[in-house]
Structure 1
Amino acid sequence: MRRLLATFGAVVLASSLTACGLDLNAALPYEVKPGSIRPEPSLSGVHVTVGSKDFTENIILGYLAELALSAAGAKVTDLTNISGSNSERQALLNEQVSLYWEYTGTAWISYQGNDQPIPDEAGQYDAVKAADERQNGVTWLRYSPVNDTYAFGTTEAYAQAHNLRSTSDMTSFLREHPDQAVFCVETEFASRQDGMPGVQATYGFPTTTVKTFGTGTIYSAIANGTCNFGEIFTTDGRIAGLNLRVLTDDKKFFPQYNAAVTLKKSFLERYPALREVLEPVGDALDNQQMIELCKQVDVDGRDPGEVARDWMVAKGFVS
């Protein structure tokens, strides 16, 4: 059963968000009870508005946070599925949402204007967190192992046939078999220095043919043999749905995009228990689990709130 929070605060918030082009959805996916997440007296009745971006993974992450906070006793308002990263970010800066999951690489490059990523996950997180606190009063909870970055993918059958697990394995194979160097990539990725030209220079693999497609088409193009290798996102549900293998970026060329809850530093100082409620949820996730959760939505057609609830129950966070 969906639960509607009809409060004066929600009405006021709806008015301000609608003026900014954001649509308020105050319904939480499911009523849950505490599991390992126990009621937290300092959060009892506290209004927390949770946002998310408008793609499957981030929507699922938003629901995970909502369910955790609800189990802890907070009064949660759902504002998942905000269109565009910049809109979501501005909603946080303007305090129209209390928190949402952001990615270290997105903040470092898109919001903070850096053009050189830091290859180490912890180093990238530390740099982003320090800059965001200093410049914007925004802090980051501990980052999750979920790292939604770029990689090359191929079919599981092709990878097994040629013993391919990493981009270096791919490079060695293609140097011996250059006729197999058929790639599918996005148009922009084909020419960007942090895309195909840069990664090719870093690893030194040959390319016989480079075909350009839209993002969604690349996954099916790999699966049906149109290309042997393609540019993919490392947590996309179609990886599992189409039985693809992610090749490890062993030289760490691509930026790190670890997910972490972001919120105003002042809000965390007011409610420090948010950390102990939300950080264990992020810790319990990894790329393989996120691929499966996204597959359940994008391939199997399940509701993201239902998928989030079932995972939280399975992990014992809620009941």
Structure 2
Amino acid sequence: MTTSVNRRRLLKATGAGALGSTAGCLALLDGGGGDDITVGGKEFTEQLILSYISIHMLEDAGYGVDDSSGLGGNTANHEALVQGETDHYWEYTGTGLNYHLGLEDEKITDPDEQYQRVAGEYEDEHGIVWLDMAPFNNTYVVTANQEWQAETGVETITGLAEHINDGNEVTWGVSNQYLENPTALGDMPEFYGYEDSMDNVTYEEMAIGTINYRAVEEGEVDLGVGFQTDPQLQQFDVGTVEDDETWFVIYYPAPLVREEALDDDVREALNAPTEHLDTETMQQLNAEVAVDEQDPRAVAEDWLKSEGLL
């Protein structure tokens, strides 16, 4: 991708009568030559939606876009961006800091501080710019059966720890992946101080997703686990248990762009939607794709139009 003039203004100013005389220029603006921007992204619902939000915004700004959404997981997208195989994808601050930069020992619970830390390291090490951070945190969430929660009065994980330490038994639906991850449930008993009472906790192994939320709603287990932007939080009648001491790593998303692919128009196009993406909005968009089985590209486009961004 090469830096150019403001494509949005140029395209909108070009009338039908001028198309013939400006055909060479427009070929560049419509994706010819080296002006295409390659958009990557991870292969789960939320990331597909974010990728298509970027694609629509860039196309509306007059850029040609190569669609590499759903490229793969964390490593595939990071390496593609670093190697210049893609120009942009959305990443989460916690993933960038702890996974890609390998700074697992740095636990930063303030979103702005974490963002500044990871953004500075990325620019210094990789020549990659973190643009504006969206105001939602796709971190882990502990779900609770509503009847159990009403009976026990457990509203926070501190309260849950006290409940367990008082000799009360709980059943918890969770996958081995979460238990083996020291930043998920793995080391949480030590952090919250109920590690000596683990005989009172029974883990029921189950996949994370709809099956987990249904088990919590129906009372097959007292507690479950998911992510804060899961559409199932709207779909099922479950409560949540607040991580009041901020044990879980925070994950705020932002568009990442290679320095060579970044100009003022790209920055403007990719930054424009971020402030509109709060937790409730992301849950709803995820639900439209994962629950209602709508096309993520269409969901992204409809939302951008509803926000007056397209």
**How do 1:129-208 residues align onto structure 2 when only pairs under 5 Å count?**
129-155=119-145, 158-159=148-149, 165-172=155-162, 174=164, 178-179=168-169, 181-205=170-194, 207-208=200-201
* Aligned counterpart for 1:245 among listed residues 239, 246, 251: 239
**How do 1:12-23 residues align onto structure 2 when only pairs under 5 Å count?**
none
What is the deviation of 1:287? Answer: 1.4
Give, in whole Å, the separation in 2 of the partners of 1:127 and 1:137.
Answer: 15
Q: Which amino acid aligns with 2:127?
A: G
SS in 1 for 2:182: coil
Paired-residue identity, %: 27
Q: Which runs of 5 or more residues in structure 2 are unaligned? A: 2-6, 12-27
Of 96-105 and 207-216, deviating more is 207-216
What is the deviation of 1:58? Answer: 0.3
Task: Name the residue aligned to 1:214.
Answer: 207
Give, in whole Å, the separation in 2 of the partners of 1:169 and 1:94.
Answer: 47
Answer yes or no: is the 8 Å Cα contact 1:167–1:248 preserved in 2: yes
* Aligned counterpart for 1:259 among listed residues 253, 257, 278: 253
* Aligned counterpart for 1:63 among listed residues 33, 36, 52: 52
Task: Name the residue aligned to 1:127.
Answer: 117
Q: Which amino acid aligns with 1:189?
A: Y
Answer yes or no: is the 8 Å Cα contact 1:238–1:298 preserved in 2: no
What is the deviation of 1:94? Answer: 2.0
SS in 2 for 1:194: helix
In structure 2, do the counterparts of structure 1 residues 229 and 315 end up closer, same or farther at CA, with 3 Å as the change threshold? same
Deviation string for 1:110-162 (max 9, x for gaps)? Answer: 21111123111111111111111111111100111121111211245654665
Task: Name the residue aligned to 2:282.
Answer: 290
What is the deviation of 1:238? Answer: 1.8
Answer yes or no: is the 8 Å Cα contact 2:146–2:217 preserved in 1: no
What is the deviation of 1:48? Answer: 1.6
In structure 2, do the counterparts of structure 1 residues 255 and 303 end up closer, same or farther at CA, with 3 Å as the change threshold? same
SS in 1 for 2:190: helix
Answer yes or no: is the 8 Å Cα contact 2:37–2:261 preserved in 1: no
In structure 2, do the counterparts of structure 1 residues 75 and 210 end up closer, same or farther at CA, with 3 Å as the change threshold? same
Task: Name the residue aligned to 1:20.
Answer: none
In structure 2, do the counterparts of structure 1 residues 182 and 71 end up closer, same or farther at CA, with 3 Å as the change threshold? same
* Aligned counterpart for 2:93 among listed residues 81, 101, 104: 104
Deviation string for 1:249-283 (max 9, x for gaps)? Answer: 22111111111101112322xx1222222213111
Of 303-312 and 200-209, deviating more is 200-209
Of the two, which has the highest radius of gyration? 2
Name the TM-score, length of structure 2 as normaliser: 0.81
What is the deviation of 1:175? Answer: 5.3
Give, in whole Å, the separation in 2 of the partners of 1:308 and 1:156.
Answer: 33
Deviation string for 1:76-126 (max 9, x for gaps)? Answer: 222111122211112212222210101111111221111123111111111
Answer yes or no: is the 8 Å Cα contact 2:88–2:256 preserved in 1: yes
Name the TM-score, length of structure 1 as normaliser: 0.79
What is the deviation of 1:315? Answer: 0.9
Deviation string for 1:162-199 (max 9, x for gaps)? Answer: 555443344455556713x2111221322443232422
Answer yes or no: is the 8 Å Cα contact 1:139–1:264 preserved in 2: yes
Give, in whole Å, the separation in 2 of the partners of 1:159 and 1:64.
Answer: 38
Answer yes or no: is the 8 Å Cα contact 1:184–1:210 preserved in 2: yes
Aligned length: 279
Deviation string for 1:226-268 (max 9, x for gaps)? Answer: 2111121111112222233343322111111111101112322
* Aligned counterpart for 1:86 among listed residues 75, 79, 82: 75
